[in-house]
Each structure stands twice: as structure tokens, then as C-alpha cells.
Chains A and B, each alone.
Chain A
Amino acid sequence: MILKGGAPVPASRRAVKIVLYAFLLLLCTLLQMSLLPAWRVAGVHPLWLPVLAVMIAVREGERLGLGFGLAAGLLCDLLLPRSEGFFTVFLMAAGLLAGALCEHVLTRGFVAALLWSLAVFAAMDVLFFVLFYLLPGRAGWGALVSVALPETLFSVTSGLWLYLPVKGIHRIAG
């Protein structure tokens, strides 16, 4: 990995960074399994794992974006029923895309993290709904308004705090 100035990041610091991000992902997973399902607004509870994956991708670029998108996606597929590997594929691709664009083209600040989180979450929910509910004829478009919209808004707004530890780890570990 190369910094903006061109100086290579030592492998040990990169390892520390990966361990810290993995710890944050684990913490998020534990929260997702314990407290978050009980925190309901407009009938939905927040889902923070995709938000965390996007924020890591925005700060760290395509490699870690791909890796942590894959990890967060796997965890989502383990925790959420009827997903058939959807989250793994989607979040891996989203992490790679967001990471690559933020690394080479766009900015890496808070606003970018917020907009990317909203875009990725909304796209994920729409695609999930179309593939698993609309196309099999299990639900109509109304579900987008009753589930996808509140879930996207609630998850992203309540998960914005994740930007702080991600930024902190990025700074500490270089």
C-alpha cells in the first residue's frame, strides 16, 4: 500500500490496522446480534455491518474495501435469512468500487462516507427486494416504502458514528 506522499506503509502497521478493523467488525457483529434488533424505529432496526464495510472502503481504498466488504457480507449472510450469498457478493463489489473510486478519483472525507453509505445501502436493499421478493412474486413495490426506505435511512444515520473509529484507526495505523 502506498501513502499519498509515496512512502510505503510498513507491513507491521498494515497488520495492526487490519486487526483493529477486524476488531471493530466483530464489535459491530456482536451489537447486531444483541442490542440492535431491539432498537426499532418505524418498524425496522438498523443494520450497521454494510455501513462499516463502506466506511472502511472509503478511508482505505480498494484492497481493504474488497476484503472487509467480503467479511461484512459473509457475516450478513450468516445473520440474515434467505440471502443465499447475496450480501457477500454485493458488499464485496461495493467495497471494491467505493474503495477504488475514493482512492483514485473522489475524496475520502465524512461527506463521501455518508453519501457512499446511503448509495450502497439503498442499492443493496432495492436489489435484495427485487431478487428475493418482487421477482418471485412474494411482495409488491409497497415493501420498498415500508421496509427498504426506513431501513436505509435508519441504518446509515444511526451508523454514522462508525466513521470516527474508522478514521481513528486510519490515522493511528497510517
Chain B
Amino acid sequence: MKWIRRHKTLAVAGIAALLVLAMAVASLFASGRVSPASDLLGGLMRPLQTLMNRLAGGVGGFWGYVYEYEGLLDEVGELRLRLARAEAEIRRLEKAGEENERLLELLGIHQKRPDFQFVPADIIQRDMSNWARIFTLDKGAADGVKVGDCVISAEGYMVGRVSAAGRTWCEVVTVIDTDMAAGAIVDRTSLTAAARGSFEMMQKDRLSLIHLRPDVDLMIGDLVLTSGIGGVLPGDVPIGRVADVRQERDGMSAVAELTPLADLDRLRVCYIVIGFDGASGEEEGGEMP
């Protein structure tokens, strides 16, 4: 005991060494089982290990943030670039889709009316007035457009006629405008008449078929086409369908109301017929009646 008292340090170290040796020997014979001492030590150390682990993670993350910041900036820049490229690609594809749609429409009209020469045009302004139904298109004399040219929709329905042509634009009076006048023919009966716009009809988004005999053979839904007589307008272009037939006040004639086939409120693209078989060419440079 005296030796122990004199050599405390050596004694503690020896005891510790003996304990470690005992634990090592015990672990040799434990064959995978956890000794009670290890279990106790592990239980005591676990919260500390968890805390240390978290601290280490936090510190590592902070250092990672500090050291990798430049890399992250580069990555953000790269991702932004890729996003911009992807957006540009989407825009290009959308444009290509629209162009494809337009070309398909064009092909459709070409197949329906191979005798037409036409120019596609976008509507750049719609009139804001209650006195007229006029469009402005983005094609003009430089594209071969002239006053009096017929304007049709993608489906081939009559939209109106060119009433004024600038170099890069033209003004179109639609079929329901008061200045609209065209020779017409009823598809079912081959009856010829004049299709005209008026204020009264314009308020209803319609036009009239005038100068009809009181006993005219017309049915609601009859298809009315351009007659093409005179060669000013191409023939057989659908204008509208008969919506109503009524006697004039004098009882000497009848009037039919036509609903236009072209959807004038939703049109975005029109096709200006700048040439067709049988055109008279009288309208070139002239004023529209």
C-alpha cells in the first residue's frame, strides 16, 4: 500500500492498463456480444457523439459553403444560361408551330382553290368605331395588294374587300360594313342577288341580300356565295347563310338577312386574293365602289 501511495500515477496507469487488458480479453471471448462495460460506455457516449457529429456537420457545411460559394455561383450562372437557352428553344418551337399551322391553312386553301393567288396577312388593327367594321392588315401595294381585292379567311370564307392600300398596309371593309357590296348567288337555287351591308344589319353582325322577289325561294340556312359576275370578285366564295327572310314595307320585294361564315371577331390572319382565274383587272389602282 505504501508503494501505491508513493507511486499514485503509476498505480492508476497500471490499473487502467489492467482494465483495458481485461476488456480486450473479454472482447476476445465475447464473440460478437457487447460487454456490459462497453454497453454502458456506448450509452454514455452516444449523446456526446451525436452532438459532436452535428457540430462537425455544421462546421463542415459552413466551410463547404465558404469554399464552394464560387462554385455555386458558377453553377447558378450555368443553370441560368441553360434556362435561357431552353426558353429560347421553346419560343422557337412555338413560332415554328404557328408557322406550321399557317402553312397547313395555306395548303388547305390552295387545295380548295388552286386558281387563287393570295397573300397571307395579319390583322394589325381593328376599328374601335360603331360606324364601321374595318380591319387594317399588314400587307399592301408592295405585296401586290390593290383596292377591291377579295379577302378570305383560312377556311376560305369571305371576310371583306380591300378598300384602301398603302405600301405596307391595307384597309379591309368586312362583309358586314356599310360599304360592303358584292354580287351573290344562292347555292341551292342559283338565284342571283346583291349582298350589301347596312347600319341596321351591322348592329346585328349581319348583312342583307336585297332586291329579292316577294315570293323568293329561300330557306333558313341556305348558303350564299359570291357570284363572280363581272370578274371583280372571284366566284363561289362562301359569304354567309340565310338567317331570316322578310318582306319589305312596300310589299314589292323581300330582304334576306345573312350571317357571315367568317368569324370576324376572332380572326387573326386573313388571305388577300391578289389574282384568280377570270379576273377582270378593272379594279387595279381604282376606287372601290
Contacts and interface: CB of A to CB of B under 8 A. Distances in A.
Same complex origin of A and B: yes
A43 interface: yes
Given A138-B178, A138-B179, A139-B178, A80 B127 contact: yes
A146 B200 contact: yes
A151 B199 contact: no
B111 interface: no
Given A138-B179, A146-B199, A44 B171 contact: no
Contacts of B27: none
Main secondary structure of the interface of B (DSSP, over half): loop
Interface residues of B, number: 18
Nearest to A143: B199
A168 interface: no
B128 A133 contact: no
A81 B203 contact: no
Contacts, number: 55
B203 A43 contact: yes
A79 interface: yes
A142 B199 CA distance: 8
A118 interface: no
A64 to B, nearest CB: 24
A174 interface: no
30 contacts: A33-B128, A42-B203, A43-B203, A43-B204, A44-B130, A44-B203, A45-B130, A47-B129, A79-B127, A80-B127, A80-B128, A80-B129, A80-B131, A81-B129, A81-B132, A81-B136, A82-B129, A82-B131, A82-B134, A83-B129, A128-B131, A129-B131, A133-B178, A138-B179, A139-B178, A142-B199, A146-B199, A146-B200, A147-B203, A151-B130
